Chain A
């Protein structure tokens, strides 16, 4: 599946921060969209990609896809499932 096949409503880049601010930034971004909308999260390889998806899941949101970008970062697509 190519990246442009997943539509998203908002995006956040967490490649400029480290744990635990990575997840804090994602949480804030999720608060700013409505339930049902999709957030694209750009993150670094390594610890963020190992841990952020789990944190998102534990908050009750729905993970749709993780995709690798050409620059080595990853995009995680998350559907907000609750307010």
Chain B
């Protein structure tokens, strides 16, 4: 038998196990969404080729342990029938994670699933100097932990008070958790320095007296492995989708051009300088 190309297998989502000749097969999942058709295929593969169970990864992925190296092609074919494919590992763009977003969640400010699909179709599997993780969370509740990722996105709402619609009920002043809203003489003033774009005032307002614009905070250089680092927001709140995508392009290009092999984004930022990255990001931000 020919020598096993572990790097190629790893690239294709096959994670080498302690048990010789067996792999834990990582599947390609975007934004944590898996269809019942895909689940059926996963179930069949786990029953037929694995040990009848799966492992849920920390980043919304599915792995099927105990896949025999000799049966890889049959496994891939069985998965393809259910519309699911192996994922990736190694130095490339990994699974894009997301919370359920505003299609489902009452607190979310943005459509995270749509954004995750867009990011995944643009970047998933792209070869880079080291792993690169992207995650999208819908609001300040941060269920998806945006700052853990090499590049994390967090949804928000920019709010503006519409005086004509306001019934002066006083609810928004108390709903705001950042003490950013003050009412005096029936007029509302918003301290935008304190506002964190959580959108609670707009969600709670009984008179729809807040005009909202969906937007994005972007965090760079997050890590949650051997080293723990919280991603930093190097650019202002972004109010349109196209700008977010330009900023993502700029960040990934910066990483590709500046990182040493095996160096995570945080350490590239530290070495090349936050200012150098910020300059590229602001170019993208300003279009």
Contacts and interface: CB of A to CB of B under 8 A. Distances in A.
Interface of A: 45, 49-50, 53-54, 57-58, 62-67, 74, 76
A3 B18 CA distance: 71
Given A57-B206, A58-B106, A63-B206, A50 B170 contact: no
Contacts of A49: 174-175
Contacts of A64: 167, 169, 206
B200 A65 contact: no
Given A54-B203, A54-B204, A57-B206, A65 B174 contact: no
Interface of B: 106, 167-171, 174-175, 177, 200, 203-206
Contact of B175 (A45, A53, A67): A53
B175 A54 contact: yes
Contacts of A62: 206
Contacts of B168: 65
B169 A54 contact: no
Contact of B174 (A50, A57, A58): A50
Nearest to B177: A50
A53 B106 contact: no
The 4 closest A-B pairs by CB, nearest first: A63-B206, A66-B170, A54-B204, A53-B171
A54 B170 CA distance: 13
Nearest to A51: B175
Contacts of B171: 53, 63, 66, 76
Contacts of B174: 45, 49-50, 53, 66, 74
B169 A66 contact: yes
B232 to A, nearest CB: 29
A66 B106 CA distance: 22
Nearest to A65: B169
A74 B60 CA distance: 42
A18 B171 CA distance: 19
Given A54-B175, A54-B204, A57-B204, A67 B170 contact: yes
Nearest to B204: A54
B200 A54 contact: yes
Given A54-B203, A57-B206, A63 B169 contact: yes
Contacts of A45: 174
A76 B174 CA distance: 12
Nearest to B106: A58
B80 to A, nearest CB: 42
A12 to B, nearest CB: 17
A54 B201 CA distance: 9
B170 A65 contact: yes
A60 to B, nearest CB: 11
A45 to B, nearest CB: 8
Given A50-B177, A63-B171, A65-B170, 19 more contacts: A49-B175, A50-B174, A50-B200, A53-B174, A53-B204, A53-B206, A54-B175, A54-B200, A54-B203, A57-B204, A58-B106, A63-B169, A63-B206, A64-B167, A64-B169, A65-B168, A65-B169, A66-B169, A66-B171
A69 to B, nearest CB: 13
A32 to B, nearest CB: 21
A53 B177 CA distance: 14
A42 to B, nearest CB: 14
Nearest to B203: A54
